Amino acid sequence: MTLLCYFYQDYCAPLPITVLSDLATPGVCASVGNEVGCTNPSGTSGNPNDMIACFNNSQTTLPFEVHALRFWIGTSAPLPDNLFLRIWSGSATTGPGTLLYEQEVPPGSYNIAENTIALDDPFEFSGQEFCAGVYSNLTNDGFRLVMETGDGLESWFLAPNCGAQYNTWYPVQTTIDALECIEALVTDH
């Protein structure tokens, strides 16, 4: 467990956080040098890009709350000019279903490499499975996320300008067995 600090006036109240992760070591994206995303090297095309990981939360009691998402933006293109956190219904088997939550992340609040962005309001789930990730939609923009070695079955990618509809990463790019580096930070409700 990781402790997330919530400030009330000058008091820091620790809250035990569970990290939901498909990465080999939660909190560490062991990049294999691969990145996923639809963009050119200058980052001036490719969007919309939706990068999503699906989770099965068997670590907390139900219902639970999603408090933050952690993700790693790649180095092979500039930062996107806009970015959104998204939460979906769905599972690793079915992929993302219905979009349930979207929050814009202000430019300057995210950077190349690791990012942990808190949701404005925790999002409550009563079931164990959900999907979450990042999205950018400006058509004169694009971005990439870092990937780690894995089966890729939990990672989903939508980038119509590159011909990628919702499908698990492995079938989309059969030469790379990798996961998108995305995690969800959750608590018991």
Per-residue pLDDT tens for 32-67? 678 888 888 888 888 999 999 999 999 999 999 999
Q: Give the number of domains in the chain.
A: 1
Whole-model pTM: value is 0.87
In a domain, 6, yes or no: no
In a domain, 11, yes or no: no
How far is CA 44 from its chain centroid?
22
In a domain, 40, yes or no: yes
pLDDT per position as a tens digit, 164-178: 765 544 333 444 567
How far is CA 160 from its chain centroid?
18
Mean pLDDT across the stretch 6-18? Answer: 56
The Cα 176–Cα 170 span in angstroms is 7
In a domain, 69, yes or no: yes
The Cα 63–Cα 172 span in angstroms is 33
Region of residue 32 (left: phi > 0; alpha: psi -120 to 50; beta: else): alpha
In a domain, 3, yes or no: no
In a domain, 13, yes or no: no
Domain span at residue 108?
19-188
In a domain, 10, yes or no: no
In a domain, 111, yes or no: yes
